[in-house]
Chain A
Amino acid sequence: MLLALAQWLAQDVRFFSVFNYITLRTVFAAMTALGISFLVGPTMIRKLTAYKIGQSVRSDGPQTHLVKAGTPTMGGALILISIAITTLLWGDLRNHYVWVALFATLGFGVIGWVDDYRKVVHRNPKGLSAKAKMFWQSIVALVIGFYLWNSASLPAHTELIVPFLKFLVFPLPALLFIALTYFVIVGTSNAVNLTDGLDGLAIMPTVLVSGALALFAYVAGNAVFSKYLGIPYIPGAGELAVFCGAIAGAGLAFLWFNAYPAEVFMGDVGALALGAALGTVAVIVRQELVLFIMGGVFVVEAISVMIQVASFKLTGKRVFRMAPLHHHYELKGWKETQVVVRFWIITILLVLLGLATLKLR
C-alpha cells in the first residue's frame, strides 16, 4: 500500500521514488513489524492472561518445566498480525509471490490457531487430531505446490539446485516439484513446531533463517546478482525480502517477551505458520537444500523425534533421554538458557554456511 502511495507521490516529489528499493523497504518492514509487536504485545499478553489462555505442560517432561504451566500461549497470533500488516504496508501487492507467502503463513496459522484454541479454551488436551492437522496442512501445501507449478514461466522456477555445486541442477517434473514443495513446507512447519519447546528456542533461529532467506530472495530477484552468483533468476522473488524482513522484525519483538523466563509462548499458531513461511520462501527462491542446512536445528529436532519413536517401537529402547533433542540436553544437566543459546550459536554457524553457498559453488 505504501509503495503504491510512494509511487504516486513520486510523480511530484522525486524523493519518494526511494521507496522503490527493495532493500530499504525490507529494513523498514523489519522495523515496522518490530514496532507493531512492541505496541500490541503487552496488551495481548494481558488479554491472554485475563482469558486464562495458558499453556499446559507435558507431565512427562523435565520437572523444571512445571513452573511454566499457565504461561499465556497463542502469542504467535501477535507475530502473524505484525507480519501480515507489515507485508501489506511495505510489500508490492501486485507481486503474486507476496500473496503465496501470506497464504502459506496465514493458512498454517489458522490450523495452529484451531489446535491451540481447542487445547486451551475447550480444555481438549488432544486439540486438533494429528490426522486432521496433517490433512489441512497437506491441502494448503498442495495448493501452493500446484499454483507455483502452474505459474512457473521459466525452467529455473522448477529446478532443484544443489548447494556448492554450480552445474548440478535437476529439472523437476510436475509430480516431483509438487511433492518437494509439499515436503519442504509441511516438514519445516512441523519441525519448527517441535523445536518450540524452550523459551526463545524456535524464534531466534526463525529470525536468523528468515534474514538469510531475505538475502537469497533479493539476489534471486535481481538479474545481475543472480547471474553473477550463478543462482536461478526468479523475477519478482526479490519482493519476498520484504516479507522475510517482516518475519525477522516481528520475531525479534516476540523474543522480547519470549526470552527466558517467557511471558508468552507462541503456540502452534506461531510455530506452524513461521515454519510454513520459511518453507514457502525457500521453495520460491529454489533454495530448499540451503534451508535444510540453515534450519539444521529444526531438522535435527525433528529427526530426533523420528529416531526416538522408531527406536522405541522397534527395539523398546530409547536413543535419547527424551525427545525432542533439547529435552535430552536438559536431562543431561544443561540449563534451559544454555541449551537455547547454544542452539542459537549452532544456527548462526549454519546460516553462515548457507550464505557461503552463494559464493562457494
Chain B
Amino acid sequence: MNMGSQMKKRSTQALGETHVSAANVMTTPNANVRFWIITILPVLLGLATLKLR
C-alpha cells in the first residue's frame, strides 16, 4: 500500500476540525472567527434554557 492510497483512506485531511477547515478552503483567521461564531450559538441556546423550562 503506497502513501497515496493511505491518504485516500483518511476521512479528513488533517486532525482536528480546525485543521480540516484550514486545509480545505478557509484561511486560519477565517477558520478561527467562524469557530468562535459557532461557539456563540450553543451559548445562546444555553441562555435560552434560563427561560424555556
Contact = CB atoms under 8 A, between A and B. Distances in A.
Q: Which range contains the number of B residues in contact with the other chain?
A: 10 to 19
Interface of A: 18, 21, 23-24, 27-28, 30-31, 34, 200, 252-253, 255-256, 259-261, 337
Contacts of B45: 31
Contacts of B48: 24, 27-28, 31
Interface of B: 27, 29-30, 32-34, 37, 40-41, 44-45, 47-48, 50-52
A130 to B, nearest CB: 33
Given A30-B44, A252-B40, A259 B33 contact: yes
B44 A21 contact: no
A340 B15 CA distance: 28
A342 B51 CA distance: 35
Q: Is the interface of A mostly helix, strand, loop or mixed?
A: helix
Contacts of A23: 50-51
A70 B41 CA distance: 32
Given A21-B51, A260-B27, A200 B33 contact: yes
A252 B27 contact: no
B30 A261 contact: yes
Contact of A255 (B37, B44, B50, B51): B37
Contacts of A34: 41
B18 to A, nearest CB: 14
B50 A259 contact: no
A21 B48 CA distance: 11
B29 A259 contact: yes
29 contacts: A18-B51, A18-B52, A21-B51, A23-B50, A23-B51, A24-B48, A24-B52, A27-B44, A27-B47, A27-B48, A28-B48, A31-B44, A31-B45, A31-B48, A34-B41, A200-B33, A252-B40, A255-B33, A255-B37, A256-B37, A259-B32, A259-B33, A259-B34, A260-B27, A260-B29, A260-B30, A260-B33, A261-B29, A261-B30
